[in-house]
């Protein structure tokens, strides 16, 4: 019997994050994030660019420091970029 292989990391993994700063003019969020396995990156705090169309101007204005999100991050043209985001599930 062969050992089962661990599933490959996926850019589709949702990464837990807490918003630390919102930079509206630069379209960036500074996040304290969990491990980004598909990029071999441990959890840390750093800024991420928002991909075009991820959020509207009104949605970006509504995001505040302390908000908890889940994000999907990809490297686009050498820059770590949020390609999807959603509110984190409420804690039970």
Q: In terms of residue numbers, what domain contains 71? A: 15-87
In the prediction, which pLDDT does 13 show? 86
9, part of any domain? no
Question: Which CATH number belongs to the domain containing residue 60 in this structure?
Answer: 2.40.50.320
57-64: long-range contacts, CB 8 A cutoff, minimum separation 24: 60/22, 60/24, 60/27, 61/24, 63/19, 63/22, 63/29, 64/19, 64/22
pLDDT exceeds 90 at position 2: no
Band (4; pLDDT cuts 50, 70, 90)? very low
In the prediction, which pLDDT does 12 show? 63
Angle (nearest 5°) at CA 65 between 60 and 68: 85
Query: pLDDT digits over 6-47, tens only?
Result: 444 454 689 999 999 999 999 999 999 999 999 999 999 999
6, part of any domain? no
């Amino acid at each position: 019997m062969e050992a089962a292989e661990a599933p490959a990391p996926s850019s589709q993994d949702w990464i837990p994050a807490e918003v630390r700063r919102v930079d509206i003019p630069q379209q960036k969020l500074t996040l304290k994030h969990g491990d980004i396995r598909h990029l071999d990156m441990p959890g840390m705090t750093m800024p991420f660019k928002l991909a075009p169309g991820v959020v509207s101007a009104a949605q970006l204005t509504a995001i505040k420091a302390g908000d908890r999100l889940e994000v999907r991050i990809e490297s686009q043209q050498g820059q770590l970029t949020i390609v999807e985001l959603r509110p984190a599930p409420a804690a039970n």
